[in-house]
Structure 1
Amino acid sequence: MARQLAAALAIIGTLLLSGCGNDYGVDQYGQKVAAERVDKQWLVLNYWAEWCGPCRTEIPELNALAEGLKGQPVSVLGVNFDNVQGEELKSASEKLGIKFTVLAQNPAEIFDLPRSEGLPVTYIIDDQGKVREQLMGEQTAAGVMAKLEALRGH
């Protein structure tokens, strides 16, 4: 009985501890997006939609940016503007050729993002979770990289 109680308490403790940090839900493949993967990192957060022409043009640039940032404390994340979920999100992401993580749950509240009526829109968020830049319209990998470097003081 004592061993079962200890095991139960260990599980409860783990669950309570895992509640620390923000909950980013799952990605386009249904995999949990751990807070450790996102918190205390710079983020390039892009909102896109399947029906958005400039978004389609911008995706390869963001894929290149994500590839170029590997190994750095910066993550490129996508969010579907229409809030599609599950299989529909996976399908839309694959159709557009998105290679970076797409969050199924919109993190706008976590980062206190201003509502944008236009697409695409990309936010640069610092490692403290503060929005540093709102980039409206289609971006290039080089352009976002230059902004990131300027903001990060590199």
Structure 2
Amino acid sequence: MLLGSLLISGCEQDWGVDQHGQLVAAEQLQGRWLLINYWAEWCGPCRTEIPELNRLAESRTDLHVLGVNFDELRGEELAQAAEALGIRFRVLSEDPAERLQLSRSAVLPVTYLVDETGKVREQLVGEQTADKLLARLEQLRDQ
């Protein structure tokens, strides 16, 4: 019984559901670099940045792009907002801030690069390009 408890406690908790109501299972993200981007509908730079993030999400298998709505939209509201902005990457319904020990940013957009061990390696404030994000990712991997 003790061994069973230890095995269960060692399992990482899932990340909730995405904008489509699909489970974001922990094993889907384990051992991968994550790019977590906070966005809002009212944020102009967020809107400009989304095509860059779409491009990363669709072209990189070594990086998992996740979005988080700053205004904490859920369910159908989240799905509609993500669709309206043309988001093609997964958007988490639950904010991973507590899980990753992130403080709430006062500005948007804000992007976090999380390494394959789950450690937040970088906070990037302001609008990012795919090229800039990839360059920073490579620098972090080389450290």
Q: Same fold (TM over 0.5)?
A: yes
Residue of structure 2 in register with 1:119 after alignment: 108
**Whole-angstrom CA distance in 1 between matches of 2:31 and 2:93:** 20
Residue of structure 2 in register with 1:30 after alignment: 21
Letter matched to residue 29 of structure 1 = H
Q: CA deviation at 1:37?
A: 1.1
Q: Is 1:54 aligned with 2:45?
A: yes
Q: Which has the larger radius of gyration?
A: 1
Q: Is 1:43 aligned with 2:34?
A: yes
The answer to whether the 8 A contact 1:22-1:39 is kept is no
* Post-superposition CA distance 1:56-115 (Å, at most 9, x none): 00000000111221x32x200000000000000000000000000100000001111122
Q: Is 1:75 aligned with 2:64?
A: yes
* Post-superposition CA distance 1:19-62 (Å, at most 9, x none): 82022000000000000111221110000000101000000000
Where has structure 1 moved over 2 Å in runs of 4 or more? 16-19
- Structure 2 residue corresponding to 1:141, chosen from 117, 124, 130: 130
The answer to whether the 8 A contact 1:24-1:105 is kept is yes
**Whole-angstrom CA distance in 1 between matches of 2:117 and 2:27:** 13
5+ long unaligned stretches in structure 1: 1-12
5+ long unaligned stretches in structure 2: none
Residue of structure 1 in register with 2:74 after alignment: 85
The answer to whether the 8 A contact 1:22-1:110 is kept is no
Letter matched to residue 96 of structure 1 = L
TM-score under structure 1 length normalisation: 0.84
Give the paired residue count.
138
Q: CA deviation at 1:18?
A: 9.7
Instruction: Name the SS of the counterpart of 1:118 in structure 2.
Output: coil
Letter matched to residue 116 of structure 2 = D
**Whole-angstrom CA distance in 2 between matches of 1:36 and 1:92:** 27
Percent of residue pairs identical: 63
Q: CA deviation at 1:150?
A: 1.0
Computed over aligned residues only, the root mean square deviation of the Cα atoms, in angstroms, reads 1.8
